């Protein structure tokens, strides 16, 4: 659901709420599939989205989130390099989440979700892989349509 709404450029706050629900469910799945760092990152991502939703995600809160998320995830990383991909994705997302440029936000979604895709394939999270692919494709299509309509700069 969030994937399709993101591509249609719905209100950013609505996207954040729907994404938070999706992230929470994916975090539970990561726990069941044994990816502790991804579950930790998903928990911090829910906090990040709620801070962003309430316009409380400022430079200081971003730095704290990045530090806590990275240190906790690295400490409990039980899947090697595959546990690093969600960390990189989370750092990128936290840094650029408040961008006003629709083009950059679409690109952020594509890059960060691609990192999650590699992780989800490794842990055999098939439902997450489907969501990842849908998110990447819909954001790529939306980005291309916006670019063709010259609504954004490429």
Q: What is the mean pLDDT of each run of 10 residues along the chain (154 residues)?
A: 49 85 92 94 93 90 95 94 95 88 90 96 94 95 85 53
**Rounded to an integer, what distance in angstroms lies between the CA atom of residue 139 and that of residue 47?**
23
Q: Using an 8 Å Cβ cutoff, are 134 and 38 in contact?
A: no
Q: What is the pTM of this model?
A: 0.82
Which residue in 144, 140, 131, 137 sits closest to 42, CA to CA? 131
Residue carrying structure tokens 């539970």? 28
**Rounded to an integer, what distance in angstroms lies between the CA atom of residue 50 and that of residue 68?**
16
């Amino acid at each position: 659901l969030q994937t399709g709404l993101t591509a249609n450029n719905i209100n950013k706050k609505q996207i954040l709420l729907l994404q938070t629900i999706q992230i929470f469910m994916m975090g539970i799945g990561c726990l069941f599939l044994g990816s502790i760092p991804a579950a930790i990152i998903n928990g911090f991502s829910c906090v990040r989205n709620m801070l962003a939703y309430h316009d409380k995600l400022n430079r200081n809160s971003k730095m704290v989130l990045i530090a806590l998320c990275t240190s906790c995830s690295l400490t409990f990383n039980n899947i090697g390099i595959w546990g690093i991909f969600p960390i990189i994705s989370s750092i990128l997302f936290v840094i650029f989440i408040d961008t006003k440029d629709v083009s950059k936000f679409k690109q952020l979604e594509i890059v960060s979700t691609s990192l999650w895709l590699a992780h989800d394939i490794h842990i055999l999270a098939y439902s997450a892989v489907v969501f990842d692919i849908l998110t990447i494709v819909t954001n790529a299509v939306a980005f291309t349509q916006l670019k063709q309509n010259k609504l954004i700069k490429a």
